[in-house]
Structure 1
């Protein structure tokens, strides 16, 4: 998820969700002050971290299984790649087409979902993500986007193994 690149980007590794600068100390980052919206638009306390809990718990369960079984008897996360790369520069009003390549080491069926991580990006609006099939999406950078703003798109690849495991890739579109 690349959250190591910036604490405000969020993700499920290491940081415990998306971080925001503490209002009383500009040198301290905390998920306490990060307000992420759930699918209903509500902003539950600590959702910046809680949105990842299911994937984290399943990953942990799989790792426990790995410690007591053979490779073939445990589930492994799918591998996702974005063919165009993870950093894209684009002018306002211009299209972006993203294609993914996803494999699963266990041969499980993988379900793909693309979504905009609005809180991580600096463009204040919503982008229209049009799915074209086979993991390909088309996004048009909004005409009102300003140079320097960013749009964060997340590819979520979830297998149907036991436990179901999820991999993520983040594409950052920077408006030039």
Structure 2
């Protein structure tokens, strides 16, 4: 499966807090991938060239921009059948949504679920039971909002539980 991710650049202390939080509350994913916002969700490998071309096109038309993660919500992920704690974006929500929409401008758009509208977020915890997610003490993240900068798009492949970076393309500085 092919994905497009954006890895927020945090201040060092915030990055450490988020990293430690994820290790505690979603250890498997924390080992697999650093904190990120998913822009293209698991499309078939057959779309690699289309998605790669879109990453190139979109990145050279988009300026790096700030993102403020300003609230937490628990959502059920119907694909993974998990209850997840998301950090949602206040400022930065619109440009992330715009990136997502432009990166689905191809045949792979048929793989996008219309039943689950895109909400810019960063997953920071994942549990089988909602009650477990509701017990999480989010104060370990520090004060909200958490400010970050999105500066690049990462094209990655997930194969047999292993994530391979295919390319990183910077946004306009």
TM-score between both structures, scaled by the size of structure 1: 0.27
Structure scoring higher RCO (CA < 8 A, sep ≥ 6) equals: 2
Greater Rg by CA: 1
